[in-house]
């Protein structure tokens, strides 16, 4: 990593404030970004990171404060003006259009054209050059983006940013959908960019990434800078967490009380297969047990859980709940049997963001709270409020739109949905993705509490440490195969990675 010359400042943010009605989203933010540095932006969900990003991207105009670009005050009054200035933004929520090709996505809105006619050959060639720069020459510019994996879509989003003449790129949680190899490639690209003098503002909840890639750190809390321009090498992690939360938070996992030998088996998966996705997967989950699926992105973990839930029809094998075999490929049958899924992409697949919290919570329970085809809204509110209190969802206003809540609280909405429904088998795919360090501890404690209450829980996480710390039993998945089933106390992160990389069973 090239070390930035902090005597030279590319971007200065001074006292930036932004209000939305009575809500003070930004209460005074200061930071400096130097050419060629990676400036990490930290903060819990709701700290103001997204609002600040949108100010830099020209989506929001600040109510007070100023932005200085190369020492001169700059007015970023729209997305195009940010691009013209030299600032590109990669948002956490993928901003690609599934129906278009990779090349069309990359040059969307700034097509290469002459006389109103798009120069497709030139766009295709430049797309190949950008993808090669990102280490993804194998991706075809003509491939439809809807056919790509989440990780590949992330690459397209990055390529779109790099298609402009930029001096600063803002990356919002760019590693969230990437496996270890893809993250290593991302960091290689960032190193290349910074070596060329391009600055990066890097937003992440993964503190270990900051140690690998960052030069300096600014911490936001409640819309204000709690600490600005901290040197990564000289700032210990406990200090960062204290700045973020206002208190000391240890990222510890709840104690595992152990699963009684006579605990009944709630979920049994026997020789489940789906060609091209996974093959011959078997496991059991007992009441009170947390089973974790560990493996790299693309290993088949999510596909296995989708098949268990009935959202993907297997070619062979079976799923049984309390000894009763479920109809294959039937979500209604799974839900009726007590299964509930919190999907990997909770915003696009799990929630209706513009609907109130209570409606999202009761979504799977309409049949029990409707009369003559009409929903009983009072009963909806009562059921939702009961779970909102039990799960300590914040803010505890069930009429708010689900999209206004932080990642951790959105995850709680999904858990509340299945608890209202009476589900006793919970399938949680990436339950802490995009969740800050303080809220993670809450989610961990909540999952353990649900298990201790007698529920059976399956957890998928790209973070091996999370699987090992949370689960009682670990399934290591590689290339669609179950490599081993082991007590979490009998394997460490090195052991998991060793199995996955070798692709051989223990």
How many CB atoms sit inside 10 A of residue 329's CB? 15
pLDDT score of 183 more than 70: yes
Tokens of 301: 């973990």
Phi, psi of 329 (to 5 degrees): 70, 25
Lowest-confidence range among 45-54, 290-299, 480-489, 496-505?
A: 496-505
pLDDT at 6: 44
Q: Kindly state which CATH superfamily the domain 1-86+166-249 is placed in.
A: P-loop containing nucleotide triphosphate hydrolases (3.40.50.300)
pLDDT at 440: 81
> Is residue 243 within 8 Å of 221, Cβ to Cβ?
yes
126-131: average pLDDT: 93
pLDDT at 486: 95
392-413: average pLDDT: 85
pLDDT score of 1 more than 50: no
pLDDT score of 504 more than 80: no
| Cβ partners under 8 Å of residue 83, min gap 6 | 110, 164, 166
The structure's pTM equals 0.59
Q: Kindly state which CATH superfamily the domain 252-338+424-506 is placed in.
A: P-loop containing nucleotide triphosphate hydrolases (3.40.50.300)
pLDDT score of 71 more than 90: yes
pLDDT at 298: 74
Local confidence band at 248 (pLDDT 50, 70, 90 cut-offs): low
Q: How far apart are CA 97 and CA 95, in angstroms?
A: 7
Query: For residue range 343-365, what is the model confidence (pLDDT) as tens digits?
Result: 988 888 888 889 999 999 998 88
pLDDT at 61: 93
Q: How far apart are CA 464 and CA 457, in angstroms?
A: 17
Q: How far apart are CA 255 and CA 107, in angstroms?
A: 51
Query: For residue range 299-325, what is the model confidence (pLDDT) as tens digits?
Result: 899 999 999 999 999 999 999 999 999
| Residue 84 vs residues 87, 119, 153, 163, 324: alpha-carbon distances, Å | 7, 22, 24, 12, 62
116-129: average pLDDT: 89
> Is residue 388 within 8 Å of 398, Cβ to Cβ?
yes
Most confident of 107-111, 478-482, 502-506: 478-482
pLDDT at 5: 44
Residue among 46, 29, 35, 47 nearest 3 (CA):
35
pLDDT at 18: 94
pLDDT score of 14 more than 60: yes
pLDDT score of 250 more than 80: no
pLDDT at 3: 42
pLDDT at 479: 85
For the chain, give the percent of residues with pLDDT over 90: 49
| Residue 416 vs residues 376, 471, 479: alpha-carbon distances, Å | 18, 21, 33
pLDDT at 2: 37
For the chain, give the percent of residues with pLDDT over 70: 94
183-198: average pLDDT: 88
132-156: average pLDDT: 87
Local confidence band at 404 (pLDDT 50, 70, 90 cut-offs): confident
408-417: average pLDDT: 88
Query: For residue range 261-313, what is the model confidence (pLDDT) as tens digits?
Result: 899 999 999 999 998 899 999 999 999 999 999 987 778 999 999 999 999 99
Local confidence band at 208 (pLDDT 50, 70, 90 cut-offs): confident
pLDDT score of 329 more than 90: yes
pLDDT score of 44 more than 80: no
Local confidence band at 502 (pLDDT 50, 70, 90 cut-offs): low
| Cβ partners under 8 Å of residue 321, min gap 6 | 266, 267, 268, 334, 337, 338, 339, 425
pLDDT score of 179 more than 80: no
pLDDT score of 4 more than 70: no
* 18 vs 393, more confident: 18
Domain with CATH 3.40.50.300 in the chain: 1-86+166-249, 252-338+424-506
Q: To the nearest whole number, what is the mean pLDDT of the chain?
A: 88
């Amino acid at each position: 990593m090239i070390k930035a010359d902090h005597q030279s400042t590319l971007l200065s943010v001074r006292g930036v404030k932004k209000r939305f009605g009575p809500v003070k989203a930004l209460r005074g933010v200061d930071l400096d970004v130097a050419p060629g540095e990676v400036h990490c932006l930290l903060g819990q969900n709701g700290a103001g990171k997204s609002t600040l990003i949108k100010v830099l991207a020209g989506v929001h105009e600040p109510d007070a404060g100023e932005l200085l670009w190369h020492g001169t005050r700059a007015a970023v009054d729209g997305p195009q003006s940010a691009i013209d200035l030299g600032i590109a933004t990669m948002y956490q929520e993928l901003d690609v259009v599934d129906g278009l090709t990779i090349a069309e996505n990359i040059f969307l809105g700034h097509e290469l054209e002459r006389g109103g006619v798009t120069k497709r050959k030139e766009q295709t060639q430049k797309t190949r050059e950008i993808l090669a720069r990102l280490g993804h020459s194998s991706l075809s510019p003509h491939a439809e983006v809807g056919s790509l994996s989440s990780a590949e879509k992330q690459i397209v989003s990055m390529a779109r940013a790099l298609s402009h003449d930029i001096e600063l790129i803002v990356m919002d949680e760019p590693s969230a959908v990437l496996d270890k190899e893809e993250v290593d490639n991302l960091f290689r690209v960032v190193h290349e960019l910074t070596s060329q003098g391009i600055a990066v503002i890097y937003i992440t909840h993964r503190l270990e990434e900051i140690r690998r890639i960052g030069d300096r750190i600014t911490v936001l809390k409640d819309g204000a800078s709690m600490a600005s321009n901290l040197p990564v090498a000289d700032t210990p992690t406990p200090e960062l967490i204290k700045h973020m939360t206002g208190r000391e938070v240890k990222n510890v996992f709840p104690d595992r009380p152990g699963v009684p030998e006579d605990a009944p088996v709630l979920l049994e998966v026997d020789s489940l297969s789906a060609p091209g996705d996974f093959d011959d997967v078997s496991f059991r989950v007992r009441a009170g047990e947390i089973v974790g699926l560990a493996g790299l992105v693309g290993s088949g973990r999510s596909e296995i859980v989708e098949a268990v839930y009935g959202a993907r029809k297997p070619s062979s094998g079976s799923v049984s709940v309390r000894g009763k075999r479920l109809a294959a490929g039937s979500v209604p049958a799974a839900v009726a049997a007590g299964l509930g899924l919190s999907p990997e992409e909770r915003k696009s697949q799990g929630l209706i963001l513009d609907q109130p919290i209570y409606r999202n919570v009761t979504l799977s329970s309409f049949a029990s709270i409707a009369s003559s085809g009409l929903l009983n809204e009072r009963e909806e509110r009562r059921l939702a409020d009961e779970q909102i209190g039990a799960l300590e969802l914040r803010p505890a206003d069930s009429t708010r739109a689900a999209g206004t809540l932080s990642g951790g609280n959105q995850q709680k909405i999904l858990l509340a949905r299945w608890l209202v429904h009476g589900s006793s088998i919970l399938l949680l795919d990436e339950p802490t993705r995009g969740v800050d360090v303080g809220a993670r501890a809450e989610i961990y404690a909540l999952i353990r509490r649900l298990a201790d209450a007698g529920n059976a829980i399956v957890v998928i996480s790209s973070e091996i440490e999370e699987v090992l710390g949370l689960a009682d039993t670990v399934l290591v998945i590689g290339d669609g195969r179950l490599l081993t089933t082991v007590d979490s106390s009998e394997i460490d992160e090195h052991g998991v990675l060793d199995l996955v990389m070798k692709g051989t069973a223990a």
